[in-house]
Amino acid sequence: MIRPSVITKVISGPVHRYGVMNVNGKRSVGILGGGFAGLCTVSSLRRRLGGTIEITLFDKNNFLLYTPVLHEMATGTVNARHVVVPLRKVINAGEIHVRCEEVTAVDLEARVLETTSGRFSFDNLILAQGSESNFYSIPGLKENSLSLKTIGDGSTIRNRIIEHLEKGALEKNQDRRRALLTINVVGGGCTGVELIAEIAQFINIILEKDYPEIARPEVRITMIETAGKILTSFPAYLSQVAMERLKALGVELLFNTRLDWVDENTIGLNNDIRLPKGILIWTGGIRALDLNTKQDIERDSINRIMVDNYLQIPGYPDVYVIGDAAHFVQNSNPLPPTASVAVQEARSVADNIAKQMQKKPLIPFHFHYRGDMASLGFMSGVCEVYGHQFQGFIAWVIWKAFKLALLPRYKNRLQIVADWLITYIFKRDTSRLP
């Protein structure tokens, strides 16, 4: 039961610089999106303002997807149930209103979120709707590829790999067998590299024991990347280490190569090379999720909403945008779409809402870069933390520690650590799930 003081049917009105108090005297904040950004805003607001603020969180799903281990879920190291955190388990539903429904429109002027069950007004809006895969209008790509953004994507990749191995083990026709045993990953950023390393290691480990009908050289695992190297945001040395590691795992690296088109059976590259499509996984970019705003606002080429130094939409000082949905410029470049950025932005917004309430000047947001890290299969990785570079097992341990810190629930942390231990002892499972 939603308390009427918190969510009120909307009447449009003037924009108030410091918001309007609702009838019980508490400031109301409506948050769209319970991902890293939205959830961290909830906890930061509670920490700073306690019960003096009424928070309502809208999300079409009732869980947070813990993306940093999604590639491990896609290759059977981590159980699917352990990568989702139920929102109501990390939020005290007695204090925060959780509405599991899709927001269909936003009125920035009136600070209203619209859903199929009504229109809800707040003193502050925080938009954190996240992102989806960006297929850049490449012909045939969306219909013929898999991506890694949702829990469903992770399961599909895993099932598809196992299905292709089962069929490949039986196939006698050489062309069909080659196609079944081809895996192409497009995009050599963190997601693509972490995924392809896991896939290659998974194949290397299970093939000999579980699929003796297939020789390892028959499985072609290719990374396609437009740049001349992978992990372009990393220091050159770590990028080189990652490249060597992928080669050692049996990954073929195609650099300076662009995917131009895809059909059911073939992928076409810019240098006139054609490859069997096999399993094609696209990790080549993201775009902010569409959000129907009543007012025209400026967005960048990947649909992110332009925000000012305070993460507010220019002209709408009570509306903030954070996480993957926001285009925030620092040192002349937009910040990358990462959970670390989302979490720091969330804390800044919570601070500034507290300042708005106290009628104090707001503090501009500044992202503090702490490092970059990528796993390169089970028990290997590269990372740069506070200027120090690590590789191999030690980098993997640091990676795990940092990433687990982003996970807001101890139970999930323990479950994931247990999954890693079980994988270490018993190896990965190859059952295809319905």
Ligand X SMILES: Cc1cc2nc3c(=O)[nH]c(=O)nc-3n(C[C@H](O)[C@H](O)[C@H](O)COP(=O)(O)OP(=O)(O)OC[C@H]3O[C@@H](n4cnc5c(N)ncnc54)[C@H](O)[C@@H]3O)c2cc1C
Q: Which residues bind ligand X (CB under 6 A)?
A: 32-38, 58-61, 67-68, 70-71, 102-103, 128-130, 148-149, 191, 289, 323-325, 337-340, 342, 403
Looking at the Cβ atoms of 68 and 76, the one nearer to ligand X is 68
Indicate the residue among 188 and 337 with the shorter CB distance to ligand X.
337
CB of 288 to ligand X, least distance (A): 9
Shortest distance (Å) from residue 115 CB to ligand X: 8
As measured in angstroms, the least distance from the Cβ of 37 to ligand X is 3
User: In this complex, which beta carbon is closest to ligand X, that of residue 171 or of residue 338?
Assistant: 338
**Closer CB to ligand X, residue 168 or residue 187?**
187
Q: Which residue is nearest to ligand X (CB)?
A: 35
In the complex, least distance from residue 190 CB atom to ligand X, rounded to whole angstroms: 6
Q: State the Cα–Cα distance between residues 348 and 334, nearest whole angstrom.
A: 17
Residue 121: CB minimum distance to ligand X, A: 17
Give least dist CB 38 to ligand X, A: 5
Our CB check for ligand X shows the closer of 151 and 246 to be 151
